[in-house]
Amino acid sequence: MKDNYIFIHIGKCAGSFISKQFPQLNRVHMHKPKFRQDQQYIIWIRNPIKRFVSAFNHSKSLIEYQLHTDCFDEIYNEKSSPYYRLKNKINSKLLHNCPFAEWESGFNYEFLMNKFNSPNQLAESLTSNSKSVKNQAIELMSNTEVEHINKGLGWYLQNGDFVKHHHDSIKFVGRVEYISEDLGHLSKLLGTPVGAAEKEREGYIKQIQSLTLSSLAITNIKKFYEKTDYYTLKSMLKYKLIDTQTYEDYLSLD
């Protein structure tokens, strides 16, 4: 495998799963990629609405999950736990009872997360008649330090500017919704066989498909990400990194 491929791991876009299949890939995660001429980029994307739901649910699960032991190794290796292999969050939870205390605003992030019971409630609250509720929703949605809610496609790719200026260096864009098909394409590109068994892949696909949002919530999410994630998708379409069907699907919930 060439060692100049960089995988831009956007949170809640199957990045950990992809990294497991191709462990030789260098990865950029939780910080923005810095372009280099000698590097080629691989990106995995997802419908922004579905990614938002997954990001919210992930944070909520970390907050609500009750650790049944204080043994780091047991927690780290427990596959059924949201803390599976999350070293920093385990230490933060054990030391501070807050999985996000490693960040300066971590306790405030947990406070805001506890204000909303579901991704639907958070999304609807973006246009709440209550000024305080609306402001809390906007603050949580706008957080660029802790976790993944606002660290989507637009955040990593500079609201499309990374695509505009460096599209020739983006060698592959995979899609969560077509993960089996696109894993095969990436496997051929890298000359590396896919690592996971088909059953594991099918289980992951089922895991990412559940979604319940009101029409108001969907409208609010689209407006919130209009100039970030959706603008970046438009740039990807322009430079033929995704096809028209994918773009249109991502404007809906198909």
Dump the DSSP string for 2-58: -TTEEEEE-TTSSHHHHHHH-TTSEEEESSPPPP-TT-EEEEEE--HHHHHHHHHHH
pLDDT tens, 12-26?
A: 999 999 998 998 899
pLDDT tens, 39-94?
A: 999 999 999 999 999 999 999 999 999 999 999 999 999 999 999 999 999 999 99
Q: Same domain for 40 and 94?
A: no
What dihedral angle (degrees, nearest 10) is formed by the CA atoms of 82, 86, 89, 91? 120
Look at residue 241 and give its three-state secondary structure: coil
- Give me the pLDDT at residue 198, please: 46
How many distinct structural domains can be found in the chain? 2
Q: Is residue 21 a contact partner of residue 196, using CB atoms and an 8 Å limit?
A: yes
Q: Same domain for 182 and 127?
A: no
Q: Same domain for 40 and 162?
A: yes
| Domain limit, last residue, from 81, 114, 142 | 142
| Domain limit, last residue, from 142, 173, 207 | 142
pLDDT tens, 91-124?
A: 999 999 999 998 889 999 999 999 999 999 999 9
State the chain's mean pLDDT as an integer.
Answer: 92
Banded pLDDT at 199 (limits 50, 70, 90) = very low
User: With 80 as the cut, is the pLDDT of residue 209 above it?
Assistant: no
Q: Same domain for 61 and 21?
A: no
Q: Same domain for 85 and 130?
A: yes
| Domain limit, last residue, from 101, 120, 142 | 142
Residue 231 to residues 158, 217, 218, Cα–Cα distance (Å): 10, 19, 17
According to DSSP, the residues that pair with 29 across neighbouring strands are 9
Q: What is the domain extent for residue 244?
A: 5-49+152-250
Q: Same domain for 125 and 188?
A: no
Residue 179, exposed/middle/buried by CB under 10 A (0-12, 13-18, 19+)?
buried
Backbone angle region of 240, left / alpha / beta, with phi > 0 → left and psi within -120 to 50 → alpha: left
pLDDT tens, 138-152?
A: 999 999 999 999 999
Q: Same domain for 168 and 104?
A: no
Q: Same domain for 42 and 159?
A: yes
> Rounded to the nearest 5°, which phi and psi values hold at 121?
-65, -40
